[in-house]
Structure 1
């Protein structure tokens, strides 16, 4: 039987992230930082929690929190120094802070159903790819286990509906966004 102290230590160890994530663009801010957690026994799943910021010079100021999940179904190993994950499906939710964003539209101003989406929350679908460089072969020392470079295409429900309703007026660039980032594993 496991002692309560050991269970408590295991719980708190699970809260410590295994990765630091830095991303540019990709619907979660002009620049974002966050913490990543590998999930599942095979470590093929990833959960990231990010804070993003868009400066006034780029259309903000905006403050965005996101919770992201991605799964790596395929891998290509390059000897013992790198792994390529060519197609990682995922999903995430972003939340925009600020008084101009709300969960619901003002019912006194708009009749029910006039706007069906929330201005504060955006659910997204994503597809990413990544190259993971194994730390011991790339960086000397025991602290860094891996450095991962990735790109991520995503879209949200509002962009998709707008595209299908106005497909002649919107380009793929209007609907799909690209983010690039680095993930450092410890």
Structure 2
């Protein structure tokens, strides 16, 4: 992972923050029904409440502390679909551990804005969130086993909380099922890395940050 990627991420976020007020100033629609011409996100209109349980998107992610590869479904919600909740299942091949492992992740994303270019292209220059990952296996624990001295291990080996920032870029195809397809990358770190950084000044940001990337497929084009 290159440190320049982290600088690029920050620059993209600042650029998006600069565009936000400029676009808002050109919006002449009343505040109660305010629409952003540069932000085309909107909710699907379901006829039945139970239909809201249907996932709104699919995701595939490489790395990120949730296995070598992970796939899952998610739901977006909020006034501008700025919130997302994902549930993903991943795997870690035996060559990266003593044996094949499954991982399970619950992920919460916050996407403050989306910028559309022309008709089919869009960018989310900055988003952030957190997720919790757990790994299958009896040898991992949530609480310290009694065979170890008290507070010998001050962290769980089974569950790991992460925070992250990222960017997404996508396009909208002419398809009834798929609303748009986005490519994304994220920089993440967990509490164990942050504690190590605080107690060991020799560690650099490269040592505690992890790069991941993936694909999001937004489903069910609204008619």
TM-score, normalisation: structure 2: 0.72
Say yes or no: does 1:13 pair with 2:51: yes
Which of 166, 174, 177 is 1:128 aligned to? 166
Which of 99, 103, 108 is 1:64 aligned to? 103
Partner of 1:165: 199
Structure 1 unaligned regions, length at least 5: 1-8
Partner of 2:86: 48
Matches within 5 A, 1:76-155: 76-111=115-150, 113-136=151-174, 141-155=175-189
Say yes or no: does 1:184 pair with 2:222: no
| CA-to-aligned-CA distance 1:128-163 (integer Å, 9 cap, x gap) | 110121233xxxx31111101000111110110011
Change (3 A) 1:100 1:108: closer
> How far apart in 1 are the matches of 2:139 and 2:207?
22
> How far apart in 2 are the matches of 1:102 and 1:149?
34
Which protein is richer in strand relative to its size? 1
TM-score, normalisation: structure 1: 0.86
Query: Across the two proteins, how many residue pairs are aligned to each other?
Result: 172
Say yes or no: does 1:37 pair with 2:75: yes
Instruction: Note the C-alpha offset of 1:11.
Output: 4.7
Structure 2 unaligned regions, length at least 5: 1-46
**Greater Cα shift, 120-129 or 66-75:** 66-75
RMSD: 1.6
